[in-house]
Structure 1
Amino acid sequence: MGKVIYWMNTSIDGYIEDSSGALDFMHPDDDFQRAAADHVRRTAAFLFGRRLYEAMEKPWTQDLGGEGAPALEREFAQLYKDTPRYVFSDSLRTVPEHVTLVRRKDAFSEVERLKRETDGTLQLGGPELAVSMVDLIDEFCVYTSPVILGGGKPYLPVPEKVRLSLAEQRSFASGITFRRYKRS
């Protein structure tokens, strides 16, 4: 049985993007990039909301990781491309052949199926998708960048309390911290 992990990068005030929608507040060091690659290596599939999919897909399949790019960037790009990707959207009409499009009405049952049939980690990304799947999420992972955005899109805007316990934490030289929480 698979495990669903919600993983997002945030500011210290809990936003995944700034008030203009930009995601460029992270400044990862090599140690962070190695940790991210290790995480993706253990990922059986990515489960993306549309906006996060669009933020990840073109850069990591076309723009980044090319021949002249640093080795860590090339490695992450290849790992990303090799990992099955699902995008949950009602507005997208088509996706590349290596990506599976799932309509929102089918999202919960599809994630339940994937969790049941997958041996490994299903990495879920995107706060709106995560809110709709909160009951299926086994772990919550947060990479926090040392910056205050003062507003934007929150990490997980749930309407009620979700009790968690800290399972792991780590700091990087760049000031980024990682915390992994399990359900209490």
Structure 2
Amino acid sequence: MGKVIYWMNTSIDGYIEDPDGGMDFMDPGEDFQQAANDHVRRTSAFLFGRRLYEAMEKPWTQDLGKEGAPAVEREFAQLYKETPRYAFSDTLQTVPEGVTIVRREDAVSVVTRLKREIDGVLQLGGPELATSLLDLIDEFWVYAFPVIVGGGKPYLPVGKKLRLRLVEHRSFASGIMFRRYVRS
């Protein structure tokens, strides 16, 4: 049975985007990038909301990881391209090979099916998609970058209380803090 892990990078005040919609406050060090590679190596599929899909797809399949890029970055790009990707969107019309479009109204049924059919990690990204799939999420991962942005898009705009239990935490030399939570 698959496990859905919701992972987003944030500022320490809990935002995935700053008030202007930017994410340039996230400056991953090589230690963080290696941890990301280790996780993606164990990922069976990516489940992305449309905006996160668009933020990841072109950079990691076309722009980043090319000749001359750091080895850790090239490795992530290769792992990313080899992993099946599901883009949950009502507006996307075409996607490259390796990507499947899923209509937002079908999200719960598709992810329920994927959890049954795929033995491994289903990495979920995108706060609105995560909110719609909240009951299917097994773990919540937060990589908090050492910056305060003072507002923007929150990690998870749930609108209700959800009790979690911290099961792992780790700090990186770059100042990034990792926290892994499961449901209480």
TM-score range, shorter chain: over 0.9
Q: Name the residue aligned to 1:62.
A: 62
Distance 2:97 2:42 in 1: 22
**Any residues of structure 2 matched to 1:27-176 within 5 Å, and which?**
27-176=27-176
Deviations, residues 30-52 of structure 1 (Å, cap 9, x unaligned): 11111000010010000000000
Letter in 2 for 1:119: D
- Which segment drifts farther, 22-31 or 150-159? 22-31
Deviations 1:101-120 (CA, angstroms, capped at 9, x unpaired): 00011111000000011100
Amino acid at match of 2:173: A
**TM score, norm. by length of structure 1:** 0.99
Query: Bigger shift: 57-66 or 18-27?
Result: 18-27
In the alignment, the residues of structure 2 paired with residue 43 and residue 150 of structure 1 have an alpha-carbon distance, to the nearest angstrom, of 32
Work out the percentage of aligned pairs sharing the same amino acid.
79
Q: Deviations over 1:64-105 (max 9, x none)?
A: 000111100100000000010000000111111210000011
Give the secondary-structure state (helix, strand or coil) at the position aligned to 1:44.
strand
CA contact (8 A) 2:171 2:178 kept: yes
3-state SS in 2 of match to 1:4: strand
1:172 aligned partner, one-letter code = F
Distance in 2 (alpha carbons) for counterparts of 1:30 and 1:105: 38
Q: How many angstroms does 1:171 deviate by?
A: 0.2
Amino acid at match of 1:170: R
Question: Which whole-Å CA distance do the structure 2 matches of 1:97 and 1:83 have between them?
Answer: 11
Q: Which range is displaced more, 20-29 or 30-39? A: 20-29
Q: Counterparts of 1:73 and 1:18 in 2: how far apart (Å)?
A: 24
Query: 2:144 and 2:24 mapped to 1: Cα distance?
Result: 13
- Two-structure CA RMSD over aligned residues (Å): 0.6
Cα contact 2:83–2:98 (8 A) shared by 1: no
Q: Which amino acid aligns with 2:18?
A: D
- SS class of match (1:147): coil
For residues 2-27 of structure 1, the C-alpha deviation after alignment (integer angstroms, 9 at most, x for no partner) is: 00000000001100011111111111
**AA matched with 2:155:** Y
**CA–CA separation in structure 2 for the residues paired with 1:25 and 1:39:** 22
Distance 1:20 1:47 in 2: 25
